[in-house]
Amino acid sequence: MSSKSSKETSIDKSIETSQESRVQINHVSDSMTLLLYLGLLIVTILTVWLFKHRRFRFIHETGLAILYGLIVGVIIRYGSPSYQPSITMISIEDSPEQSNKLPPEKVLVNMSVLNESQIYEYDYKRRLYGNDINAPILDEKATFNPEVFFNFILPPIIFFAGFSMKRKHFFRNIGSILMLAFLGTTISCFVIGGVTFGISRASARLASIVSLSECLLFGAFISATDPVTVLAIFSDLRVEPDLYALVFGESVLNDAVAIVLSESIETYGSAAAAGETAAISVLKAIGSFAGVFLGAIGIGCLLGCLTALITKFTQVREHPLLETSLFVLMSYSTFLAAEAVKSTGIVAVLFCGICQAHYTYNNLSDESKATTMSFFGLLNFLAENFTFVYIGVSVFTYSSHLWDPVFIVAGFLAMIIGRVLCVYPLCGLANIGRRRSGCAIGLSRMHVLAFSGLRGAMAFALAIRNTSSDARKIIFSTTLILVMITVLVCGGLATQMLQWMHIEVGVEEEPNRQRLDRQDSTGEAASQPSLRDRSCIALGWRKIDKNFVKPLLTNARPLLTETCSGCCLPLARLLTTTEQLTQAAVQRDLYSGGQEDTDVIVPPDSDSFAGLGEGGQVNKAGPAAPASLQVATTGDADNNGAASPVLF
């Protein structure tokens, strides 16, 4: 008995020593990998500063990140030492039971170690091509689990897109944006899928690997646009706001549509593989699309509004550190909540960001406003650049590549055709309504809009998530090439494209309109926008939002007790804070001399109006408004220059 115990102790000691050595090797290699990526980001930042200092706009930081990643990927692939793991090949004999099974997720191996039988557990990693597993040690470590992108890298990027949205111009063009994002992405997906499927039939090899559903899945992946490079140049050159809003709005929403569309196509593929009829499979896919998308929107808006209510009805703003922590955790929990109920967290966190900016942000203390905007801006910058660095590195280090020149060419042609059929017909359709308001999308703007359809982080993240089959490997490798081409070529030519199309730059908004935007973002009284500045959808929602939603979720006016019917007054009073009542009483006292209460506009630099400025920047107009307020008049752009009373 003691002899057996001694032998087990000896086995455990040997395994412990071996494992300790592996842990040490992994720790050193992990540290080297992280240091490598941090070094790439540092070099990218310094180069970006140099380019901005020299006003060199022919390459964006994302393009630089890809180029630096490619260089380091080559060094890792061909210059780092190889790692020789201990290997034992085990062959499982063919049998009727085994031939119809998929590779197991875990393997339990009963083996003899030091003449003692032991059972050990091993996890599935990937299908091996050939016997080349002696990859460079950094080659293996430089590749992360795809779930890292979906759980940690993408959420900050998508949240900040919604959080920093220029809501005024977004909602002014909401009809065109929704058309491009929903209908346009769907058209692009099916055009790309159809073209690649047709061309791939010309290759016997591709025809045996890639099916129609997989081509449609590729179409969904590559339909997700990410014009971060173009938008940065638009912002630097101050391109006309409506064009910026169209490009930005389409990219934000079509990422969400592409994700849900890809999941719906997978649902269709699974239903078709199960032997269900085409009609039932299509209906299941459509139902999946609607359910997942609407569910994710509901979760995002619900948690965003819940955060607004918490910050409104508690005094957490007296502790900015706690307030900021609550804001960050509630925002990220939106993503996890949606994923936990099998919805899509990316869509949920996008709409959570929009709600947080529109409602919760106005309840925060000044310190928390500055902190949250800076924090999420920093996360967005680092996550975005890390993604493009990783794209460059993974060209040479990722183990699941399968390059096919025919499919790459087919994908490139299909992407161009899909973009053309997405932009021009839909912009023409949108112009039917826009011409009446004198804001039609001209042909030159259509050219710029089509040119701005770069592919980026979202397409890459969708493609890398599953590379288990040959078809998925081809899709991933092709997506990688298309992302690099569009970022480097289209991003580099963006400035020149604006010149060729004679797009107006250096556009400054009227100061009065900027003031009104800031006022409107908090729900306080502001002049009514002209009909041509708002779509019908935006006009209807603005009325509901101003009279009911903002007074409920923020300390904005008018009060719920002023807008709700008599039967709802007890509930309205319960949902109205003392701060709201105090502000209303102060303003009534100010205008007790006979001036209309609805003409009051609180100054933009006061606590009530410290909100998001254009581009999601924190308004830093100075200290809080003085106690002695003066009434002045200023021209209102929406009323043809007519003077309107403004308090400042």
Q: Higher model confidence: residue 56 or residue 157?
A: 157
State the pLDDT confidence band at 240, using cuts at 50, 70 and 90: confident
State the pLDDT confidence band at 524, using cuts at 50, 70 and 90: very low
Mean pLDDT score, 626-642: 38
Check if the beta carbon of residue 562 is closer than 8 Å to that of residue 546. no
| Encoded tokens for 156 | 């900050």
Q: Hey, is 108 helix, strand or coil? A: strand
Q: 27 to each of 21, 31, 33, 329, how far by Cα in Å?
A: 10, 6, 10, 29
Judge whether residue 534 has pLDDT over 60: no
Q: Which residues pair with 113 in a beta bridge?
A: 116
Least reliable range by pLDDT among 57-66, 271-280, 397-406, 623-632:
623-632
What pLDDT shows up at residue 450? 93
Q: Dihedrals φ, ψ of 120, to 5°?
A: -125, 150
Least reliable range by pLDDT among 352-361, 490-499, 596-605:
596-605
The Cα–Cα gap between 289 and 262 comes to: 9
Judge whether residue 568 has pLDDT over 90: no
What pLDDT shows up at residue 631? 36
Q: Provide the 10 A C-beta neighbour count for residue 222.
A: 31
User: In angstroms, how far is CA 640 from the centroid of its own chain?
Assistant: 39
Q: pLDDT tens, 5-29?
A: 666 666 667 667 777 777 787 788 7
Report the percent of the chain where pLDDT is more than 70: 77
The Cα–Cα gap between 325 and 289 comes to: 33
Q: Hey, is 498 helix, strand or coil? A: helix
DSSP 564: S
Q: 377 to each of 161, 164, 327, how far by Cα in Å?
A: 10, 9, 14
Residue 493 CB contacts under 8 Å (≥ 6 apart), including other chains: 58, 451
What pLDDT shows up at residue 284? 80
- Dihedral class, residue 342 (left if φ above 0, else alpha if ψ from -120 to 50, else beta): left
Q: pLDDT tens, 288-345?
A: 888 888 999 999 999 999 999 999 999 899 999 999 999 999 999 999 999 999 888 9
State the pLDDT confidence band at 606, using cuts at 50, 70 and 90: very low
User: In angstroms, how far is CA 274 from the centroid of its own chain?
Assistant: 33
Q: pLDDT tens, 337-381?
A: 999 998 889 899 999 999 999 999 999 999 999 999 999 999 999
User: Does 146-497 carry CATH code 1.10.3470.10?
Assistant: no
Judge whether residue 424 has pLDDT over 90: yes
The Cα–Cα gap between 385 and 67 comes to: 12
- Residue 27: Cβ-neighbour burial (10 angstroms; 0-12, 13-18, 19+): exposed
User: What pTM, to 2 d.p., does this model score?
Assistant: 0.78
Q: Computed from CA positions of residues 246, 249, 254, 255, in that sequence, does the dihedral angle turn out positive or negative?
A: positive
Q: Which residues pair with 633 in a beta bridge?
A: 645
Could you tell me the maximum CA-CA distance found in the chain, to the nearest angstrom? 101
State the pLDDT confidence band at 184, using cuts at 50, 70 and 90: very high
Gyration radius from the chain CA atoms: 28
Check if the beta carbon of residue 54 is closer than 8 Å to that of residue 34. no
**What amino acid is encoded at 528 in this protein?**
Q
Q: Higher model confidence: residue 606 or residue 79?
A: 79
Q: Provide the 10 A C-beta neighbour count for residue 96.
A: 6
Placement of tokens 């050159």 in the chain: 237
Residue 359 CB contacts under 8 Å (≥ 6 apart), including other chains: 304, 305, 308, 549, 550, 553, 554
User: Residue 405: is the preceding peptide bond cis (ω within 30°)?
Assistant: no
What pLDDT shows up at residue 99? 54
3-class DSSP string for 329-342 = HHHHHHHHHHHHCC
- Please give the mean pLDDT across all residues of the chain: 79
Q: 2 to each of 5, 9, 149, how far by Cα in Å?
A: 5, 10, 51
Q: Computed from CA positions of residues 320, 325, 328, 330, in that sequence, does the dihedral angle turn out positive or negative?
A: negative
State the pLDDT confidence band at 4, using cuts at 50, 70 and 90: low
Q: Hey, is 40 helix, strand or coil? A: helix
**What amino acid is encoded at 229 in this protein?**
T
What pLDDT shows up at residue 417? 96
Residue 457 CB contacts under 8 Å (≥ 6 apart), including other chains: 153, 154, 157, 226, 384, 387, 388
**What amino acid is encoded at 314 in this protein?**
T
Domain ranges of the chain: 2-84+104-124+134-141, 146-497, 511-647
